[in-house]
Amino acid sequence: MLKQHKILVVDDDEVNLDVIQEALDNQYDIRTCLNGEETLTVIEQYNPDIVLLDIMMPGINGYEVCQKIRENPRLYHTKIIFISAKEMLQDRLAGYQVGGDDYIIKPFEEEELRAKVKVFLRLKYEEEVKSLNKIATQKDQSTIYKQISQYFSSILYIHSQFPYCKIVCLSTDINPMLIRTSLKELEKQFKENDLLRVHKSYLVNPIKITTIRKKGTQDYEITLKDNEDNVAIIPVGRKYHTLLKNLNPSWFSA
């Protein structure tokens, strides 16, 4: 199963990085940085769901890194949790003032860290779904394309239902979003690694794929898992079999 959520851990002490990674128990796609400058370079491409951020670092400190992240509209929903040995009230307040979402004092309890990561992943997801709903009500399609690209981590799949495309974030969603466009147009607007064509009528979010199973003698179907662990089943078009196998053989069952 692909790791769905991305956590960026920033600390100038490699031992601390190892401790946090071990505490999260390989449940997430984790990347680490040793200083603020590296963080600001990595974060633009990595686009994490959560940043676990130390404060006292050489060069750009954690407060400054947080401010820079908050100035980037593409990272608007990224959650920032400070993890620091600075335990005074003024230190914690300073973290909130620059845009931090929470503050954990070192040494920390692993259970607390894991619990807070789960809470803020859920909060980020809920915020993105609300934003997608607002975007989908707009009439300016070019604006929709631009804004919806920020929320791929919440999209499960897109189903073409001419003349609309249905955007599904929850497999149990009874009121998915509809925008007046085509899958062909969506493919033009968005990168292939964000939305993957698997059928003439379906684009899927590849980070939501858990398995691709054989159905019958020649057909396959994709299992997708949403952020609440519900599953959705999507057919695979025959012309896409080889493409998917080449892209990631581990998706296919033995």
How much is the pTM? 0.59
Q: Could you give the strand order of the β-sheet that contains 50-53, starting from the edge strand earlier in sequence?
A: 29-33, 6-10, 50-53, 79-84, 102-105
Nearest to 69 by CA among 95, 37, 32, 43: 43
On the question of a common fold for 6-127 and 137-251, the answer reads no
d(Cα 43, Cα 221) in Å, to the nearest integer? 34
d(Cα 202, Cα 198) in Å, to the nearest integer? 6
pLDDT, tens digit, 9 for 90 and up, residues 200-222: 999 998 888 988 988 877 789 99
Q: Which one is predicted more confidently, 74 or 17? A: 17
3-state secondary structure 98-127: CCCCEEEECCCCHHHHHHHHHHHHHHHHHH
Distance of alpha carbon 151 from the chain centroid: 8
**Looking at the predicted structure, is the pLDDT value of residue 2 above 50?**
no
Average pLDDT over residues 22-32: 88
**Looking at the predicted structure, is the pLDDT value of residue 223 above 70?**
yes
* Domain residue extents for the chain: 6-127, 137-251
Tell me, what's the pLDDT at 241? 87
d(Cα 92, Cα 60) in Å, to the nearest integer? 18
Query: Would you call 13 helix, strand, or coil by DSSP?
Result: coil
**Looking at the predicted structure, is the pLDDT value of residue 71 above 60?**
yes
- The whole-chain average pLDDT of the chain stands at 85
**Looking at the predicted structure, is the pLDDT value of residue 138 above 90?**
no
pLDDT band at 130 (very low <50, low <70, confident <90, very high): confident
pLDDT band at 120 (very low <50, low <70, confident <90, very high): very high
Least confident of 61-75, 107-121, 169-183, 190-204: 169-183
Domain 6-127, CATH number (from 2.60.40.10, 3.10.310.10, 3.40.50.2300, 3.40.630.10)? 3.40.50.2300
According to DSSP H, which parts of the chain are helical?
Answer: 14-24, 36-46, 62-70, 89-97, 110-136, 141-148, 183-189, 241-247
**Looking at the predicted structure, is the pLDDT value of residue 3 above 60?**
no
| 211 phi-psi bin (left φ>0, alpha ψ -120 to 50, beta other) | beta
DSSP annotation of 52 reads E
Q: CB–CB of 253/211 below 8 Å?
A: yes
Is domain 137-251 classified as CATH 3.20.20.140?
Answer: no
